[in-house]
Chain A
C-alpha cells in the first residue's frame, strides 16, 4: 500500500470528500442561497454514503483480497435479498430459492476467491440456471413457470454474477511493470470511482442541461444530455487518472471510463424499470430514508463485468 500512486489516489479522494462535505455542510447551514433544499439533502446523504463506502473499502483493502471478496459477497447476498423480496415468488420457488441463497451465491464467491475463472464464469449462468429450472419444475407448480425462473435467474446474474467481477479484478495478473498487489487494488478502486463519478455526473448534467428524457415512463430524471455529459466527463476523469490504473494507456483509460459510464446508465435504467413495474421507489430500508443496497450498486453491477473484460483485453492476460 505504500506505493506513491496509491497514496496519491487515497489523498486525492480524501481531499475531495472533505471539501465536498464542507460545501454540503455550508449549504445546509445557509438555506437562503436559492438552492433546492431537497437537492442539498440528497447531496449530503450521498456524501454520507460515500464516506461509509470509502471506510468499508479501505478496511477491506487493508485486510486483503479474501476480505474484499467476502465483503462483495455479503453485498451481493443483501442485494439479492432485496431483489427477490421485490419480485413476487410462489411457494413452489421456496426450495430453489433456499439453495440459490445458501449454496450458489456463497459457492460462486468461493470460486471467485480461488480465482477459478474457468468455473465461476459459467457456474451461475449455466449450472445455477439448470438447477433452478429443475428444482422449480420438480416442486410441481407450473404456473407462470418461465416467468418465475427467469426472475430468479435475473436476480442471480445481476446481483451476484455481475457484481463479483469487481473483486475478481484483484486476481487479474498485471504485467510486472505495475506494482504487485496494490496495483490490483488501485484497479478496483479506479472502477468504483468511475462508476460513482458517472452516476454523479449523470445527475448533474441532467439537472443542468437535461431536455430529452430517454424513457419518461421508466425514469423521470435520466436524459440523453445526462448520459452524454456523464460519458464525456467520466472519460475525461479516467484519462486524467490513467496513472492510477496500472495496465491502461490514457486513451484506453478514457475508453474504459466512457464504457463504464454507459454501462452504469444501463444498470440504473434496468433497475428503474423493475422498480416501476413493482410500484416502489427504492429497493430497501436498510437505513431509514435511504434507498436500498441495490439502488446503490445497480450501475456497478452492469459496469463491473465489462470493465473486467476490458482489463483482460488490455493486459492480454489469461485469467
Chain B
C-alpha cells in the first residue's frame, strides 16, 4: 500500500541539472562507450521509452548489466532512472564509488546487512520518490551459467507497495560473454537488450505466481 510516509520522505536523488557538468559529461561519454563496447542493439517490443515512473527488471549476467541498460535508454529517460546496485561492489574503490554516486546516481543496497525495518524495498521506494524509475535485478546476483534464475521476492513487494508503477521486463542477451563473472577485461562482442510491454501486479495475485509470471516475461523476450 502507498503510505503517506513513502511520498513525504525527501528523495535523495539530485535533479540532473544540479549535478556538475563534468559528471554529466562523464555520464554521456560513459553511456556512449558502453554502447560501443557492448555493441548493444536495443529493441522495444510492444513497448515505448517513457519518462513516467517505471521499474525495469532484468536478468543479471554481468557487472555491465546496469550500465548497459541505463545507457540504452534515451537521455531524457536516463536522467530520471536510477540503477539499484550492490553496495559491496559499487562502494569499493574511489572510481566505482564516484561512478555509482555521481554519474549513475545509483541506489546502493547492502546485501550483507538486511534489516527487517529497513528493507531494501523500502529504501528503493524512498529513493525513487514519486518521479524516479529504477533498474533492478530480481535474481539478486549474477547467474553463472547464463540461465535466468528464480526471482527473489523484492519485485513482488515493490509492486505491492506501489501498484501503479509500470514494471518493464528487460532481457539482456550475450552480455555475460562480454564480461563474465570473475573477469575484468571485456571482450567486445555484440549484445542485445530487449524491453518488453509493462506488467502490473494483479489484484489478489499470489507472490509466487507473480514472480513466475515476471520471470516468464523476461524469458519471452529472448527471441
Which residues of A are interface residues toward B (Cβ below 8 A)?
A: 77, 81-82, 84-85, 89, 91, 94-95, 97-98, 101, 284-285, 288
Contacts and interface: CB of A to CB of B under 8 A. Distances in A.
B44 to A, nearest CB: 12
Interface stretch (B16-24, B185-193, B208-216): B185-193
Contacts of B47: none
Contacts of A97: 187
B151 to A, nearest CB: 24
B208 to A, nearest CB: 32
Contacts of B185: 94-95, 98
Given A95-B185, A285-B41, A82 B190 contact: yes
B41 A84 contact: no
A85 B185 CA distance: 16
Interface string B160-204: 000000000000001001001001011111101000000000000
Interface string B37-73: 0010100000000000000000000000000000000
A77 B36 CA distance: 12
Contacts of B183: 94-95
Contacts of A84: 187, 189
B220 to A, nearest CB: 19
Interface of B: 39, 41, 174, 177, 180, 183, 185-190, 192
A81 B180 contact: no
B176 to A, nearest CB: 9
A284 B186 CA distance: 19
B41 A81 contact: no
14 contacts: A81-B39, A81-B188, A81-B190, A84-B187, A84-B189, A85-B39, A85-B174, A85-B177, A89-B177, A91-B180, A94-B183, A97-B187, A285-B192, A288-B41
A98 B187 contact: yes
A85 B180 contact: no
Given A81-B39, A285-B41, A101 B180 contact: no
A contact patch SS: helix
Nearest to A98: B185
A255 B183 CA distance: 50
B188 to A, nearest CB: 6
Nearest to A86: B190
B207 to A, nearest CB: 34
B9 to A, nearest CB: 42
From DSSP, what is the main secondary structure of chain B's interface residues?
A: loop
Given A85-B174, A285-B41, A94 B190 contact: no
Nearest to A285: B41
A97 B186 CA distance: 9
A100 to B, nearest CB: 8
Given A84-B187, A85-B39, 18 more contacts: A81-B39, A81-B188, A85-B174, A85-B177, A85-B189, A85-B190, A94-B177, A94-B180, A94-B183, A94-B185, A94-B187, A95-B183, A98-B185, A101-B187, A101-B188, A284-B190, A285-B41, A285-B192
A68 B183 CA distance: 34
A274 B183 CA distance: 29
Contacts of A81: 39, 188-190
Nearest to B41: A285
Contacts of A285: 41, 192
A284 B192 CA distance: 10
A285 B193 CA distance: 12
A284 B188 CA distance: 14
Contacts of A101: 187-188
Contacts of A284: 190
Most chain A beta carbons < 10 A, residue from B39, B180, B188? B188
Contacts of B187: 84, 94, 97-98, 101
Contacts of A94: 177, 180, 183, 185, 187
Contacts of B192: 285
A298 to B, nearest CB: 17
Nearest to A78: B39
A313 to B, nearest CB: 37
Contacts of B189: 81, 84-85
Contacts of A89: 177
A148 to B, nearest CB: 13
Top 10 A-B pairs ranked by shortest CB distance?
A85-B190, A97-B187, A85-B189, A285-B41, A98-B185, A91-B180, A98-B187, A94-B183, A81-B190, A81-B188
A94 B187 CA distance: 7
Nearest to B186: A98
B155 to A, nearest CB: 28
Contacts of B180: 91, 94
A94 B182 CA distance: 11
Contacts of B41: 285, 288
